[in-house]
Chains A and B, each alone.
Chain A
Amino acid sequence: MVLEATMICIDNSEWMRNGDYGPSRFQAQADAVNLICGAKTQSNPENTVGVLTMAGKGVRVLVTPTSDLGKILACMHGLEIGGEMNLAAGIQVAQLALKHRQNKKQQQRIIVFAGSPVKHEKKTLEMIGKKLKKNSVTLDIVNFGEDDEGKTEKLEALLAAVNNNDTSHIVHIPAGPNALSDVLLSTPIFTGDGEGGSGFAASAAAAAAGGISGFEFGVDPNLDPELALALRVSMEEERARQEAAAKKAAEESSKQEKGGEEQDATMTERASEGASEADNKKNEFLALAMSMDEPASSQDLQDTEMSDAAAEDPELALALQLSVQDSAKDSSSQADMSKLLADQSFVSSILASLPGVDPNNPSVKEVLASMQSQSEPRQKQDEDKAPKEEDKK
C-alpha cells in the first residue's frame, strides 16, 4: 500500500502495429496500461497515475498524474501510432511531470513500455538513470518486441543505474500465446516490491492465471469474505462427497470380486457404511480384511490376493497399498484387523472366491486351523463390533 505517483510511458511508434502480441502490440500495451492503472488506484486510493506517449510528433503528456481512472482510460482512446520512440526524452519528461505532483509525499515511479528499438547510446541511458536515482525516482521497464541493437543490454544498463535497493524492475516478455497483461500480472511490477501484492492484483492474477497464484477460488477474502467462505465450504463438502463416492465405488468393486457371500455382503455393507464416515483408517482395514487372510499368514498369500484385487481396480489398489503400508507400520492396527476378519467361514469364503488359492492346499488348511482356534471368541467380538458400527451411522 505504498503511496505512489506513477507516470506510464507508452510506446506508440510504428513498431506497435505488429501483431506478434495479439491483437496488436499497441492493443496489448493499452490493456496492460489499464490494468496497471486499476491496480495502482486500488492499492491506495491516494495514488495518482499519469500517461504520456513517447513517439509520434514528440513526447506528449496525455494525462498528468491523477487518481481519476476515467480520465486515464479516456485518454487512451484515439491514440495514433507512428514515428519513433524517444525513450530518453520520455523518461525525462515523466520525471518533470512527477516533480509537479500535488502530494509531495508520494513516491515517484515511472513505468516504461519499450516495444521498439532503442536508438540512444548506453551512456545516455545510464546518465538518465543516475539522475533518476538522485531524485529518488524508481523505474519499471517492460521490455517487449524484438531485441535489436542490444536493446536488452541497454535497458539492463539503465535499470542498473536507476536501481536502488531493488525497487526498480525490468520484465522481458517474449512474444507468445499469453497476453502481455497476463504475463505482467505475475511480475513484481504488479505485486509491488515483494509486499505480497494488493488485493486487486492478486485476485486479478488468480482470475487470469486460472487460480494458480493469488487467493483461493479467485476471490479475495478481504474483498468479499462471505463469498470466499461459501466457496470454501462448498468445496469441502464436494470433496467429502467425492471421497465417499470413491470409497463406495472401491468397496462395490471389491465386493463384486469376492463373490456374493453373506458375510461378504455384511462386511461390505459395514465397509461401505463405514466409508460414509470420515474414518479412513477403519475403511482401509475393512477393505484389507476382505481381500486378505490374517496378517500372520504367509506374505505370498497376501501379495497374491493383493495383486489380484489390484488388477481389477486401480482405486482399490491404491487403498490396499495404503492400508498395507499402514498395517506394516502400526502393529496395533494389525491386531484390529485380525479381530475383524477372524470369522472362520468368512475367511474360507474369501479364499474360495480367489482364483489363485486352493482351499485344499495344505498350507491354507493349516492357516484356517490356526484361525479357527481364535475364531470362536473373536466371532462374538465381531458380532459386537457389527452392531456397534451400525449404531455409529
Chain B
Amino acid sequence: MDVIKTQQISPRPIEKVIVHPLVLLSIVDNYNRVAKDTRKRVIGVLLGTSFKGTVDVTNSYAVPFEEDEKDPSIWFLDHNYHESMFSMFKRINAKEHVVGWYSTGPKLRENDLDIHRLFHNYVPNPVLVIIDVQPKELGIPTKAYYDVEEVKENATQKSQKDITLVVKITPFSLANSSETLA
C-alpha cells in the first residue's frame, strides 16, 4: 500500500481503461459459480498498472462481500481477505497494483459510493468497472466509473460520474501465458 502511494503521488484523471480478457473470464466464471441465479452480486478487486491517464487492468480476484437486500446501507466487505490476497499476488508480479474494483451490477447501486470510498485507502484514484455478466445485446459488457468531488451547497459531496472511458478489451498477443490461454 505504501509502495502504491509513492508511485501515484499526483494522479491524473483517468481517460482510458483497458481490460484484459483474463479479467473478464475470471469474473464471469466466479459469478456463474457463486451467484448465478440469485440477485446477489459479486464484488472484487482489480489489479493492474496505471500510466499517464490510462489504466491497464491485468488481473482480478473476488472478495467476500455481503449486503442486505432490504437495507442497502448494510454491507460487509472482508478487507482483511483483500489485504492478504494482494500481498500474495504481489509476490508473483510486483508491478501489479490495486487500480480499482469491479461489480457484476448489472447496474450501479446505492452503496457503491461507500465501497468506492473504502478503496480510496488502497489507491488514490480507484476505478469501478461494472461487468455485465449476462448481456442481452452484443457490445462491450463493461462500464467504467470513477468518483468526483462536487461542492454541493457548502458541503463537499462525492458523486460518481460516468466518464467517457474507452474501455478497450485488448487481446495482447505478447502478454503472459494466462492471457494466451484465454
Contacts and interface: CB of A to CB of B under 8 A. Distances in A.
Contacts of A64: 78-81
A19 interface: no
Contacts of B157: none
Interface in B55-80: 64, 66-68, 71, 73-80
A89 B75 CA distance: 9
Contact of B75 (A63, A66, A71, A96): A96
A100 B74 contact: no
Given A58-B73, A89-B73, A96 B80 contact: no
Interface in B69-120: 71, 73-81, 114
A92 B73 CA distance: 10
Interface residues on chain B, size class: 10 to 19
Interface string B127-158: 00000000000000000000000000000000
A386 interface: no
Interface residues of A, number: 14
A93 B75 contact: yes
B76 A97 contact: yes
A232 interface: no
A380 interface: no
Contacts of A61: 76-79
A40 to B, nearest CB: 17
Contacts, number: 36
Given A64-B78, A66-B80, A92 B71 contact: yes
B33 to A, nearest CB: 16
Interface string B26-40: 000000000000000
Contact of A89 (B66, B74, B79, B80): B74
A92 B81 contact: no
B66 A100 contact: yes
A241 interface: no
A99 interface: yes
Interface in A96-148: 96-97, 99-100
Contacts of A96: 66-68, 74-76
A61 B66 CA distance: 13
A55 to B, nearest CB: 14
Given A61-B76, A64-B80, A92 B64 contact: no
A116 B41 CA distance: 35
26 contacts: A58-B73, A58-B114, A59-B74, A61-B77, A61-B78, A61-B79, A64-B78, A64-B79, A64-B80, A64-B81, A71-B80, A89-B71, A89-B74, A92-B68, A92-B74, A93-B75, A93-B76, A96-B66, A96-B67, A96-B68, A96-B74, A96-B75, A100-B64, A100-B66, A100-B76, A100-B78
Q: Which 3 A-B pairs have the closest CB atoms?
A: A96-B76, A96-B66, A64-B80
Interface of B: 64, 66-68, 71, 73-81, 114
